[in-house]
Chain A
Amino acid sequence: MHEYEIKILQALKGKKELGFDDIVVMSGLPKDSAMWAIENLSQAKVVGVKRKGASEVALTQEGEKYVDGFPEERLLKEVFKSGKLDIRGIKDQIALAWAKKNAWIMIDGGMAVITQVGKEAAKEREYPARILLQKLASAGPGAGAVVQKNQQLIGVLAKRGLLTVRERSVIDSVAPLQDPARLLSSEKEAGIGTLTRDMIKSGAWRKERFRPYSINAPVEPLYPARLHPVREFINYVRQQWLEMGFVEIAGPIIEAAFWNFDALFSPQDHPTREMQDTFFLSNPRQISITDMEAVEEVRAMHELGWKEKWSENLAKEALLRTHVTALSARYMRKLANAVNENYPQKFFSVGSVFRNENLDYKHLAELHQYEGIIIGNNLTFANLIDSLKKFYAKLGFEDVKLRPSYFPFTEPSLEAYYYDEEHGDTIELAGAGIIRPEITKALGINRTVLAWGGGLERFMLSARMMGLDSIVTPYKNNVGWLRSRPNIKV
């Protein structure tokens, strides 16, 4: 018998029946442990358990919004102010329906007219539905008494999708089916329960038999502490680069537009530079560029290539990097000034990038990208394809397909994708290409630069790797999800 079970039986000694809360107090066990032990004893038919239903009520997201006021209350306020309102002007149909249902208003000739009931309600401002919602919100889950008293209204609010009700059966009271005292004494007689240090030292265990435990009794679930799946993924991708002989680089997420856009031949009037896609900063507004030689080279590249005036001021604008290619640009520049390096040089990075987007279950403002570059003499598009295919094969994507594509900073460019036959799912893996000669020249490199990269979150969404339902899920960090999340299939 487990020590918790013994503690429960001790509490039950001499009792016909005992309430669950009393058992918890008398046994000194945490609620979870007491429940577990009682269930064991009940399975072994040592005790009988009486159960009661309990409802757990939780507010939905919609419900949270209603805590500060229901739409019908707002409508009532408006109608109360003016006495009547043209119903064509009322956009919120929910508000209209409920105000009618509550008999606050009548519809008369296309007008919502306030009733006596409505006038009183508007003065009182004590809408029972809202008050209940507020109580539940502040009481948190399992606000037993509140729930008991308001069954009907809770039903209504649940139907409106403002709360969820979960019915659970919990232990109400426990009655011994066998005499606890006898069981406890036989416990002593029937052999070794818990093996002790004394028994081992004295060898007393040799003289007694071990009492068998019920191996089918349920045990408390354990949730190991874990690394975050995004870290696991990043490390998995890093490992492939490292094994292929790439050197890892890291850099700032706050960048001058110069490294994020200008050095990469992105024209200054390009739509992605506008606020809508890029997070520009208001503090600091600008980041200084110290490499004046690079500034002049980049200016020449732009004015020749785009036939438009290039502004150094725009290039200084501070922003959150939109791609890790900004970092690749910095490293190309760094290598331009290096001497006695052996080629090819290979670099990679995995890091956060930012997009000013409307957020929903499909869109995040912060994402992760990985990118690798190879700088060398006489490198070709065929070399790029070879490295890229080897990289994805190592990640588990054999037979990657290629198609022509376009990026402002590479030419020729390609896009690599993979068709997952098992799940009928096309996964866009990478954008790749040879960095445009204008760019390498402006950055002072007289060699060829091959580059490829992609988004990390795409992997996590793909059924082949993790099969997340939404990209937002891992970044919510709900403790329950972190404890029971799917594993990465690698």
Chain B
Amino acid sequence: MPIVAFSLKDLEREGYPKAALEELVPKLGIEIEGVDGDEVKLGFTPNRPDLLDFTGLIRAFDNFTGKRVPAEAQYRIKNEPALTIGVTQAVKKVRPYIAGIVARDVNLKGNRLKYMINFTDKFADTYGRRRKKLAIGIHHLEAIKGNLVYDAVSEGTITPLNEKEKMSFGEVMRETAKGQEYSHTITGSGGKGIKKGGKEAVYPYLKDDKKTIALIPIINSEQTRVKEDDTDIFVDITGTSANAVASSANLIACSLIDMGADIYPVNVLYAGSKGAWENPSLRYREMKVLLSGAERTLGVHISESSVIGVVNKMGYFASQYGKSVLLSVPPYRVDVIHKQDIIEDMAIGFGYDKIQPLPISGSSVGLSDDLIDLENRVALLMVGLGYTESINSMLTNETINFDDMVCKYDKSRYVSLADSKSLNISMLRTDLLPGLLQDLSISTNERMPQRLFEVGKVFNMADGKVTESVRLAFVSEHSKTNFGEAKSVVEAAVRNVIGDPFRIKEHKHPSYVDGRCAAVVVNDELVGIFGELHPAVLECFKLEEPAVACELTLVKEMKYEG
């Protein structure tokens, strides 16, 4: 969830003091994440990037509170294109899409410029997949000389923002914070790109007649830096998805219009193709929603007389035709694709708190899952036998799962994780016992005897196939424990849980003392092992008293429906 900070004073100036804010934001699905002095942090859902910008947020507030009524085609663009961007073959292969916006007479004073930059950064980090899919740059229009070329090279130079000296693109990537943070965006075309000077043209960049104005999507040039007194700006939007680039251009243009700007389109000319790609389009889409359809989804009756008011609150200009409503979707609503999106907005405009809950008719019978019933039965039996339940994570590592049990292991026999942020996690457990011994190892200061059990899932592999099974394991640690204690508990457990006739036979296992280890056999199949734990195992887990243990299979292989 993207979080953006705003000044409470700025919000108050727009007519939304803190108390009003607190009341308003939950109705729009915005969360107050925290207040610190004059700063309020708001959390937004990822489907509404238009709200991340201060202007867009105020627009939504004003619509919702009725201060502003959406008009027909409110957001308009000037006819004559103000700039042309030429796109080369080289950049088409690494980051093909670019759109531009020219905005004149925009008011960037106060915190407005800061908000616009925060917004574009946050937008590119979330919706733009950390600038890979989409990134935005803002420039001072007057600093741009002539027309623009969007190109890719193997190396070039730029005077990056906040720097005095020219740097090579390679240096920017290696030495600046932005370069390091967004290095994942510079991938080339997967080795298939054209070569320049023997090296692949991996760096997309934007230049005017004189200089590089941006190393894309990393950093802009200091030479085109925007200040809050500037009134004319150029915005570049680049990315790997034409749809994302075009709709983002619309979204940003709407915000700039609300900041007083006149918007001029920018023509993009692709090398080797005729015609220009002109953005932003500021196109409104028409959508028709039947009132009965909305009612069928929401279970709420929105009357013909009130529906216009409801959708106006959500920013739609609308007209009503009999039993349906025709809405025009403003260009900044990049998330609205289906009728269901409109219907959700109708519910928000109506107010979630005003929706009358409706009981579902028809009865049904509850039914619990057999496996979970079994687990509960076994757990209660073990509690009856004086064992306390432990629940350990199914995630573990080779040291605990194998080494500390003095067992050897084979990589092909267990489920391993491709990548983990935690050093303690690398695989799924193959047995329950290591977890229980780990629990005892952090409890050596507690009073003896210590008796723990766990009922849970373990995962083993054979021939590339995973077997998920359900097991019971228990351990008893105290100075007087012995094989006999384990055997008593095993017999009680097997008798009451498995029920089938069973026999106990000699067994060898590296975790147990030789001659004090046995297997439980049911229908000629080995279902469990128990005995006195080997002192080498006790040593690995730093246990100071002798311990007996058992691991018993309850369900050999889980098979799921569905």
* B443 adjacent to A479 (CB under 8 Å): yes
| Residues from chain A with Cβ under 8 Å of B544 in the complex | 140
Could you tell me which residues of chain B, from 442 to 493, have a CB within 8 Å of some CB in chain A?
442-447, 450-452, 457, 459, 461, 464-466, 468
| Residues from chain B with Cβ under 8 Å of A475 in the complex | 391-393
The CA-CA distance from A404 to B47 in the complex, in Å, is 12
Q: Separation in Å of the B371 CB from the closest CB of chain A? A: 6
| Residues from chain A with Cβ under 8 Å of B466 in the complex | 254, 284
B411's nearest neighbour on chain A, judged by CB, is: A283
Q: Which of B343, B353, B439 contacts A412 (CB 8 A)?
A: B343
Binds A, one of B84-92, B412-420, B494-502: B412-420
Contact mask for chain B residues 358-377; partner A; CB cutoff 8 A; 1 contact, 0 none: 11101111111101100010
Binds B, one of A17-25, A172-180, A209-217, A377-385: A377-385
Q: Tell me if A401 counts as interface (CB < 8 A to partner B).
A: yes
* A477 adjacent to B393 (CB under 8 Å): no
Best-buried of A223, A333, A404, A438 by chain B (most CB within 10 Å)? A404
* B352 adjacent to A280 (CB under 8 Å): no
| Residues from chain B with Cβ under 8 Å of A307 in the complex | 241, 243
* A414 adjacent to B393 (CB under 8 Å): no
| Residues from chain A with Cβ under 8 Å of B126 in the complex | 271
Could you tell me which residues of chain B, from 24 to 51, have a CB within 8 Å of some CB in chain A?
26-29, 31, 45-48
A243's nearest neighbour on chain B, judged by CB, is: B366
A331's nearest neighbour on chain B, judged by CB, is: B562
Q: Tell me if B80 counts as interface (CB < 8 A to partner A).
A: no
Q: Tell me if A68 counts as interface (CB < 8 A to partner B).
A: no
A234's nearest neighbour on chain B, judged by CB, is: B372
* B391 adjacent to A281 (CB under 8 Å): no
The CA-CA distance from A365 to B338 in the complex, in Å, is 36
The CA-CA distance from A253 to B130 in the complex, in Å, is 29
Could you tell me which residues of chain A, from 115 to 148, have a CB within 8 Å of some CB in chain B?
140-141
The CA-CA distance from A362 to B341 in the complex, in Å, is 35
| Residues from chain A with Cβ under 8 Å of B298 in the complex | 380-382, 412
Q: Which of B45, B352, B412, B468 contacts A254 (CB 8 A)?
A: B468
* B446 adjacent to A386 (CB under 8 Å): no
Binds A, one of B166-174, B228-236, B272-280, B379-387: B379-387
* A365 adjacent to B425 (CB under 8 Å): yes
- With A253-B457, A269-B133, A402-B353 given, is the CB distance from A478 to B446 under 8 Å? yes
Q: Tell me if B389 counts as interface (CB < 8 A to partner A).
A: yes
Q: Tell me if B421 counts as interface (CB < 8 A to partner A).
A: yes
B366's nearest neighbour on chain A, judged by CB, is: A242
* B372 adjacent to A365 (CB under 8 Å): no
Contact mask for chain A residues 331-348; partner B; CB cutoff 8 A; 1 contact, 0 none: 101100000001111100
The CA-CA distance from A92 to B391 in the complex, in Å, is 38
Q: Tell me if B390 counts as interface (CB < 8 A to partner A).
A: yes
* B366 adjacent to A246 (CB under 8 Å): yes
* B340 adjacent to A252 (CB under 8 Å): no
Q: Which of B368, B420, B558 contacts A252 (CB 8 A)?
A: B558
Q: Tell me if B176 counts as interface (CB < 8 A to partner A).
A: no
Binds B, one of A69-77, A79-87, A349-357, A461-469: A349-357
| Residues from chain A with Cβ under 8 Å of B384 in the complex | 225
| Residues from chain A with Cβ under 8 Å of B129 in the complex | 269, 271
- With A227-B389, A281-B416 given, is the CB distance from A406 to B29 under 8 Å? yes
Q: Tell me if B192 counts as interface (CB < 8 A to partner A).
A: no
B353's nearest neighbour on chain A, judged by CB, is: A402
Could you tell me which residues of chain B, from 73 to 106, have a CB within 8 Å of some CB in chain A?
none
Could you tell me which residues of chain A, from 456 to 490, have a CB within 8 Å of some CB in chain B?
474-480, 482-483
- With A381-B297, A412-B297 given, is the CB distance from A228 to B360 under 8 Å? no
Q: Separation in Å of the A349 CB from the closest CB of chain B? A: 8
B48's nearest neighbour on chain A, judged by CB, is: A406
| Residues from chain B with Cβ under 8 Å of A252 in the complex | 468, 558, 560
Q: Tell me if A364 counts as interface (CB < 8 A to partner B).
A: yes
The CA-CA distance from A276 to B272 in the complex, in Å, is 40
* A478 adjacent to B439 (CB under 8 Å): yes
Contact mask for chain A residues 218-239; partner B; CB cutoff 8 A; 1 contact, 0 none: 0000010111101100010010
Q: Tell me if A297 counts as interface (CB < 8 A to partner B).
A: no
* A383 adjacent to B395 (CB under 8 Å): no
Q: Tell me if B153 counts as interface (CB < 8 A to partner A).
A: no
The CA-CA distance from A315 to B562 in the complex, in Å, is 18
B44's nearest neighbour on chain A, judged by CB, is: A406
* A385 adjacent to B355 (CB under 8 Å): yes
* A383 adjacent to B371 (CB under 8 Å): no
Q: Tell me if A150 counts as interface (CB < 8 A to partner B).
A: no
Q: Separation in Å of the A168 CB from the closest CB of chain B? A: 12
Q: Which of B300, B347, B560 contacts A251 (CB 8 A)?
A: B560
Q: Separation in Å of the B312 CB from the closest CB of chain A? A: 17
| Residues from chain A with Cβ under 8 Å of B380 in the complex | 227
Q: Separation in Å of the A54 CB from the closest CB of chain B? A: 14
| Residues from chain A with Cβ under 8 Å of B161 in the complex | none
A480's nearest neighbour on chain B, judged by CB, is: B446
Q: Which of A140, A227, A483 contacts B446 (CB 8 A)?
A: A483
* A228 adjacent to B391 (CB under 8 Å): yes
Q: Tell me if B561 counts as interface (CB < 8 A to partner A).
A: yes
Q: Separation in Å of the A248 CB from the closest CB of chain B? A: 4
- With A246-B366, A365-B422, A482-B388 given, is the CB distance from A380 to B296 under 8 Å? yes
* A282 adjacent to B417 (CB under 8 Å): yes
Q: Tell me if A245 counts as interface (CB < 8 A to partner B).
A: yes
The CA-CA distance from A476 to B416 in the complex, in Å, is 22
Q: Tell me if A314 counts as interface (CB < 8 A to partner B).
A: no
A244's nearest neighbour on chain B, judged by CB, is: B366
* A235 adjacent to B376 (CB under 8 Å): yes
Q: Which of B340, B422, B435, B461 contacts A283 (CB 8 A)?
A: B461
* B388 adjacent to A225 (CB under 8 Å): yes
| Residues from chain A with Cβ under 8 Å of B461 in the complex | 283-284
Q: Which of A140, A254, A305, A345 contacts B415 (CB 8 A)?
A: A254
* A248 adjacent to B368 (CB under 8 Å): yes
| Residues from chain B with Cβ under 8 Å of A284 in the complex | 415, 461, 464-466
- With A242-B367, A403-B29, A478-B442 given, is the CB distance from A385 to B451 under 8 Å? no
- With A382-B298, A386-B359 given, is the CB distance from A437 to B340 under 8 Å? yes
Q: Tell me if B181 counts as interface (CB < 8 A to partner A).
A: no
The CA-CA distance from A366 to B390 in the complex, in Å, is 15
B380's nearest neighbour on chain A, judged by CB, is: A227
Q: Tell me if A105 counts as interface (CB < 8 A to partner B).
A: no
Q: Tell me if B356 counts as interface (CB < 8 A to partner A).
A: yes
Q: Tell me if B110 counts as interface (CB < 8 A to partner A).
A: no
Q: Separation in Å of the B449 CB from the closest CB of chain A? A: 10
* A402 adjacent to B425 (CB under 8 Å): no
Q: Which of B31, B358, B421 contacts A358 (CB 8 A)?
A: B421
Q: Separation in Å of the B65 CB from the closest CB of chain A? A: 16
Could you tell me which residues of chain A, from 274 to 292, have a CB within 8 Å of some CB in chain B?
275-276, 279-285
| Residues from chain B with Cβ under 8 Å of A385 in the complex | 355, 357-358
The CA-CA distance from A32 to B448 in the complex, in Å, is 10
* A275 adjacent to B419 (CB under 8 Å): yes
B45's nearest neighbour on chain A, judged by CB, is: A406
Q: Tell me if A58 counts as interface (CB < 8 A to partner B).
A: yes
- With A248-B368, A437-B340, A477-B439 given, is the CB distance from A356 to B389 under 8 Å? no
| Residues from chain B with Cβ under 8 Å of A227 in the complex | 379-380, 383, 389
Contact mask for chain B residues 137-168; partner A; CB cutoff 8 A; 1 contact, 0 none: 00000000000000000000000000000000
* B368 adjacent to A238 (CB under 8 Å): yes
The CA-CA distance from A160 to B341 in the complex, in Å, is 60
- Contacts A385-B358, A386-B359 aside, 9 further interface pairs with beta carbons under 8 A come to A246-B364, A249-B369, A330-B560, A378-B296, A383-B359, A387-B360, A402-B353, A415-B29, A482-B452
Interface residues of B (CB under 8 A from A): 26-29, 31, 45-48, 126, 129-130, 133, 241, 243, 296-300, 337-338, 340-341, 343-344, 347-348, 352-353, 355-360, 362-369, 371-372, 376, 379-380, 382-395, 411-412, 414-422, 424-425, 428, 435, 439-440, 442-447, 450-452, 457, 459, 461, 464-466, 468, 542, 544, 558, 560-562
A sample of 7 cross-chain residue pairs with beta-carbon separation below 8 angstroms, ordered by A number, consists of: A228-B390, A320-B428, A381-B297, A383-B357, A412-B348, A413-B344, A480-B445
